[in-house]
A and B are shown apart, each in its own frame.
Chain A
Amino acid sequence: MAEEQELFKVTIDGITVEVPKGTTILNAARKIGPEVAPPTMCYYSSLEGSGGKCRTCLVEVAAGSTKDPRPMPKLVASCRTEVMDGMIVKNVTSKKALDARKGIVEYLLINHPLDCPICDQAGECYLQDLSYDHGTEGTRYEFKRRTFVREDIGPYIQLHMTRCILCYRCLMVADQLTDKRMHGILLRGDTSEISTYISKAVDNDFSGNMIDVCPVGALTDRTYRFKNRVWFLKPMDAHRDCDKCCGKVTLWNRGEEVFRVTSRKDPWGEVQKIDGKPAWICNTCRFEKKNTADWIIEGPTKVNRHSVISTNHYLKKVVPPDPLDKVLNGRSPMLMMDINEVSQVNEPDIDLSILPGPATSTTFIERDETKEIKETPAERLSINDHKKP
């Protein structure tokens, strides 16, 4: 029998879960569910060394462990902090963490162009989700945003640095998936940019995965740019025999036409792990096989019901049965009130055109007084309530 792993008890937002030693707070929270899992922009479980940079996953640690129950003085990045036995973590129940997250969304957005209406990522953009969940409706930033010239890195990928939030994920793809690293960060601070040195092309079989890991629309598929909105497409799981990669992909169709091919995503927006290995796909599968005949279709991809993509999902929506007929039980519907009894708008003797402004309820009350009817519409309504037809 294999040696049993040490299990640590960790409480996140009041929910206790047991996880093996060495798990990060984020993964423990993901085990509980999306309600308590902190959002992430830079952490990517399949990429070693990712995380800790965007600071959106900051959480408050109310008690370090059973042995040392002191709270941690600062908020910690949950994606890089390992749990201890008896740790108490506050995520959505911590005012401090939510306030910090609000600040971070604001920082991420001050230099983001907010060109969602023309951005290919719209609909599957994590920054959109994040700012919807944690941002404010307005900005306090009154200065020029930083802009860059769009750059084609290779025949398949376009880099739109203006939209980049510098999560460093694509660098790790370049580092860990491809043999020769072609691109990196130039300069520093808020002028830093992701680039290949002197616009060199990225030429590698797995470079397309940079598009998948990009949380925003900074790296886009050139074969798909401006072709369609993601929510008009229907995702389908498919596979083919590929000698370079696992060949298990998601096809994005509209009608018979395949608009794009991506790797399969798990509920956290990361590449699915098939047999314990992340299912990265190669550029041949991604960019060149855009024909339904190339693929063996497995069936529709399950999309989260809350995702905008599911609005045009071709699976028939389950609509709950309308209970009205059952309630009425063959009777005709009874109106609570007759509009003509309450209001005189439809009466022929009221000429709306003589009124100086838009008609209001008081207009008619005045006219009622000339007719010596003392009831106000409200009183009349209350009388009508008791009338049975």
Chain B
Amino acid sequence: MSKKLLLKNINISGIKSFDVYRREGGYQSVEKALKMQTGDIVEEVKKSGLRGRGGAGFPTGMKWSFLAKPEGVARYLVCNADESEPGTFKDRYLMEYIPHLLIEGMIVSSYALGSSVSYIYIRGEYDWVADIVQEAINEARQKGFIGKNILGSGFDCEIYIYRGAGAYICGEETALLESLEGKRGLPRIKPPFPAIKGAWGCPTVVNNVETICAVVPIINEGGEAYSKIGIGRSTGTKLISACGNINKPGVYEIDMTITVEEFIYSDEYCGGIENGKRLKACIPGGSSVPILPANLLLRTAKGEPRLMNYESLADGGFITGSSMGSGGFIVLDEDQCIVKHTYTISRFYHHESCGQCSPCREGTGWMEKIFYNIENGRGKMKDIDLLWDVQRRIEGNTICPFGDAAAWPVAAAIRHFRDEFEWHILNPEECLVRNYGLANYADPLEAVAS
């Protein structure tokens, strides 16, 4: 049983309410932090080695220390709760069941960054979640943790909720800031980065919900202690939202030393593949990271067991590895069709492209149409190479990482499952009536057992 930091009180009944949360030791970090210097808190977060949990894995302490601090200009902390990555639902879980953890983290982080006004940008589809968080803010305000001069420290802390309108692109930090300012959610051209010029032209830090929640145990237990959990540069615990063909889908808190194999098959976590089938492939970090076939997922290309952490999942680059991403763990069993699956992802990215820069606007739509043809038995052999060409010219040429996110899954699907595409093209009638389970990617565990 690995150590739990964020979800340790999740099963206590009534943890949503302020009183129960406070009784279980909540808001201690606020009291502790208000006695510290702001620079020390940033230093503590730096020491903890906490990395952004939103997908890119950028060290949070570093991000905080980049924040420009000109005199007389307001600074903002914005919490990115626009969790729209398909397969990721960890932030919703946190906000829905333990909203005070987020509020506590927000107060500590706001104090550390000197942001008197902070925002939580919640995606539009999470309307009931926004109500829960609003309720938590109201309670905290009543108890004096939010408002003017909190706990007599002289620090004013206001936290507002801003509801998005349900656009995936608004999860990108600069698009989020545009949306927060009331404009179209189009990503800005960087530089300047938000740490210099963010919301309303002021220095801004944008952090994921889980990142901000993780600040609470860092302050409570100290950055040193936090950095001892986990392995290498992957410190602390990470929430993984597991879904797909597994027995126990849900949100799991892991310390980053367990292997992928243990995560999928142990009863403590996913509990194995549904209906006793075999593992075919898995997307380890939300729809935008490359898909991995079972043999590469459980073992790296060097034959070492793959661990659930930033470094190990990225081992081998995008050729034989993937990425931790936002922790949306999607498992596909042997009956799933990779072409159909990638078509679905491609359709999503086409629908969500903001249309600001040309490669992404036109390329995502083009890819979706080619996929539609292949999936429906109208594909041609040259379409595979065309898909490869289209994704190659989107990747890296766009304003924001959305273009990369749209290109990577397609590239990985072709790289690892090209024969499946070819099968679709060669058997146009058969591919309409059945999904194609490919035995080439047999579960290595199965091979050991037989």
Contacts and interface: CB of A to CB of B under 8 A. Distances in A.
Interface of A: 51-56, 58, 74-75, 77, 80, 99-100, 102-104, 106-108, 110-111, 140-141, 143, 165-166, 168, 184-185, 187-192
| Among all A-B residue pairs, the 10 with the closest Cβ atoms | A103-B393, A107-B362, A52-B189, A192-B355, A189-B353, A190-B365, A189-B355, A74-B396, A143-B369, A80-B189
Given A52-B189, A188-B167, A107 B358 contact: yes
B358 A189 contact: no
B411 to A, nearest CB: 14
| Most B-side CB within 10 Å, residue of A74, A75, A102, A140 | A140
A111 B359 CA distance: 12
Contacts of B355: 166, 185, 187-192
Contacts of A141: 366
A287 B357 CA distance: 33
A75 B393 CA distance: 11
Q: Output the residue of B184, B354, B357, B394 with the most chain A CB within 10 A.
A: B357
Contact of B362 (A75, A77, A110): A110
Determine which residue in A55, A107, A166 has the highest number of CB atoms from chain B within 10 A of its CB, and name it.
A107
Nearest to B404: A74
6 contacts: A54-B357, A55-B359, A100-B393, A110-B366, A189-B352, A189-B365
A80 B184 CA distance: 20
A54 B364 contact: no
Contacts of A53: 356-358, 399
A224 B358 CA distance: 30
A287 to B, nearest CB: 31
Contacts of B357: 52-55
Interface in B386-431: 386, 389-390, 392-394, 396-399
A107 B359 CA distance: 6
A55 B354 contact: no
Given A52-B189, A55-B359, A143-B369, A190 B353 contact: yes
Contacts of A99: 393
Interface string B157-200: 00000000001010000000000000010000100000000000
Nearest to B187: A52
Given A54-B358, A103-B359, A107-B362, A188 B393 contact: no
Contact of B397 (A103, A111, A184, A191): A103
Contact of A55 (B365, B366, B390, B397): B397
B350 interface: yes
Nearest to A99: B393
A189 B354 contact: yes
Which of B353, B356, B390 neighbours the largest number of chain A CB atoms within 10 Å of its CB? B356
A33 to B, nearest CB: 25
Nearest to B356: A53
Nearest to A105: B358
Contacts of A187: 355
A61 to B, nearest CB: 13
B353 A188 contact: yes
Given A141-B366, A143-B369, A190-B350, A166 B361 contact: yes
Contact of A140 (B167, B386, B394, B396): B386
Contacts of A103: 359, 389-390, 392-394, 397
Contacts of B394: 103
A15 B388 CA distance: 35
Given A110-B366, A141-B366, A104 B359 contact: yes
Contacts of B363: 107
A333 to B, nearest CB: 55
The SS class assigned to the B binding surface is helix
Contacts of B393: 99-100, 102-104, 106-107
A204 B355 CA distance: 27
B358 A188 contact: no
B401 to A, nearest CB: 11
Given A75-B397, A106-B393, A189-B364, 11 more contacts: A100-B393, A103-B392, A103-B393, A104-B397, A108-B358, A140-B386, A188-B169, A189-B352, A189-B361, A190-B353, A192-B361
B184 A185 contact: yes
A109 to B, nearest CB: 9
B47 to A, nearest CB: 27
A17 to B, nearest CB: 22
B358 A104 contact: yes
Q: Which of A74, A141, A188, A191: most chain B Cβ within 10 A?
A: A188
B351 interface: yes
Contacts of B399: 52-53, 55, 77
Contact of A166 (B169, B189, B358, B390): B358
Contact of B358 (A51, A75, A165): A165
A214 to B, nearest CB: 16
Contacts of A143: 366, 369
A111 B362 contact: yes
Nearest to B398: A55
Nearest to A74: B396
A293 B15 CA distance: 83
Interface string B332-364: 000000000000000000111111111101111
Contact of B361 (A56, A102, A190): A190
Contacts of A102: 393
B396 A75 contact: yes
A63 B175 CA distance: 29
A77 to B, nearest CB: 7
A188 B351 CA distance: 8
Contacts of A104: 358-359, 393, 397
A148 to B, nearest CB: 14
B353 A77 contact: no
Contacts of A56: 358
A181 to B, nearest CB: 12
A341 B366 CA distance: 62
Contact of A108 (B362, B364, B396): B362
Contacts of B398: 55
Most buried by B among A77, A143, A190: A190
Contacts of B167: 188
A112 to B, nearest CB: 10
A188 B397 contact: no
Residue among B353, B362, B397 with the most chain A CB within 10 A?
A: B362
A100 B358 CA distance: 12
Interface in B107-125: none
A58 B386 contact: no
Contacts of B389: 103
Nearest to A82: B191
Contacts of B369: 143
A51 B364 CA distance: 21
